[in-house]
């Protein structure tokens, strides 16, 4: 297969997420929300990309990502194998090998972070990914305002201002602790 469309590093990164997630959990559905959240966490961990995430209905979101996912699907790099049109289930397509070869060096440099994020998160439900990414975003927003912490109370308050009553306090507390234990956020 020859790629038809022009591609860039971020396209290879999205396709690498699809590939790594498919290997980690072949029977899991990797939809649009999950791709957004996996990319968000890679951004947090310092994987270079031109995407900028802002808060949206389902948590951190970048509209360019959705355009790029469609671009990759149009060129056969990824495929949507969902059986219902209102959902997505992305898997590597025939063009993945060709695109990965073009970006082999960059992918190799970031392979550990790509695999770590996908191994840790790709089998979580989209609402759990929404919860933890929004918690992380809330923490970073509060910390960026300055101060020395502790951050938890203000981060959870910011989270609830965004998500209202969508998630229980127990669930928020549990996942906040998980993010602290993972070293992604601070207490």
How far is it, in rounded angstroms, from Cα 10 to Cα 103? 10
How far is it, in rounded angstroms, from Cα 48 to Cα 32? 20
pLDDT of residue 131: 97
**DSSP code string of 36-99:** HHHHHHHHHTT---S---EEETTEEE-HHHHHHHHHHHHTTSEEE--SSTTS--EEE-TTHHHH
Q: Where are the domains of the chain?
A: 1-123, 125-187
**DSSP code string of 100-146:** HHHTHHHHHHHHHHHHHHHHHHTTS-HHHHHHHHHHHHHHHHHHHT-
pLDDT of residue 14: 98
pLDDT of residue 127: 92
Instruction: Tell me: pLDDT of 94 over 90.
Output: yes
pLDDT of residue 4: 84
Backbone angles phi, psi at 38, to 5 degrees: -65, -40
Instruction: Tell me: pLDDT of 69 over 90.
Output: yes
Task: Determine the distance from the C-alpha atom of residue 34 to the mean position of all C-alpha atoms in its chain, rounded to a whole number.
Answer: 6
Q: What is the mean pLDDT of residues 4-8?
A: 87
Average pLDDT in the chain: 93
Give me the architecture of the 1-123 domain, per CATH. Answer: Orthogonal Bundle (1.10)
Which residue has 């959705």 as its token pair? 66
Q: What is the mean pLDDT of residues 135-142?
A: 96
Are 33 and 130 in contact by the 8 Å Cβ rule? The answer is yes
Which residue has 């997420």 as its token pair? 17
pTM to 2 decimal places: 0.93
Tens-place pLDDT, residues 17-68: 999 999 999 888 999 999 999 999 999 999 999 999 999 888 999 999 999 9
Max CA pair span of the chain: 54
Are 76 and 93 in contact by the 8 Å Cβ rule? The answer is yes
pLDDT of residue 86: 84
Backbone angles phi, psi at 182, to 5 degrees: -80, -5
pLDDT of residue 1: 64
Task: Give percent of the chain above pLDDT 70.
Answer: 99
């Amino acid at each position: 297969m020859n790629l038809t469309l022009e591609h860039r590093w971020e396209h290879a990164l999205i396709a690498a997420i699809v590939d790594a997630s498919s290997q980690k959990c072949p029977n899991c559905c990797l939809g649009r929300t999950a791709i957004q959240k996996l990319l968000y966490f890679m951004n947090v961990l310092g994987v270079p990309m031109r995407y900028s995430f802002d808060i949206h209905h389902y948590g951190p979101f970048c509209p360019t990502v959705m355009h790029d996912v469609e671009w990759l699907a149009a060129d056969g790099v990824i495929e949507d194998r969902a059986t219902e049109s209102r959902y997505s289930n992305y898997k590597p397509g025939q063009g993945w090998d060709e695109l990965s070869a073009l970006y082999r060096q960059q992918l190799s440099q970031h392979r550990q972070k790509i695999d770590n994020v996908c191994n840790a998160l790709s089998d979580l439900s989209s609402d759990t990914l929404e919860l933890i990414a929004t918690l992380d975003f809330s923490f970073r927003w509060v910390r960026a305002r300055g101060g020395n912490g502790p951050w938890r109370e203000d981060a959870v308050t910011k989270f609830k201002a965004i998500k209202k009553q969508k998630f229980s306090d127990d669930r928020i507390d549990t996942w906040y602790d998980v993010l602290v234990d993972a070293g992604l956020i601070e207490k």
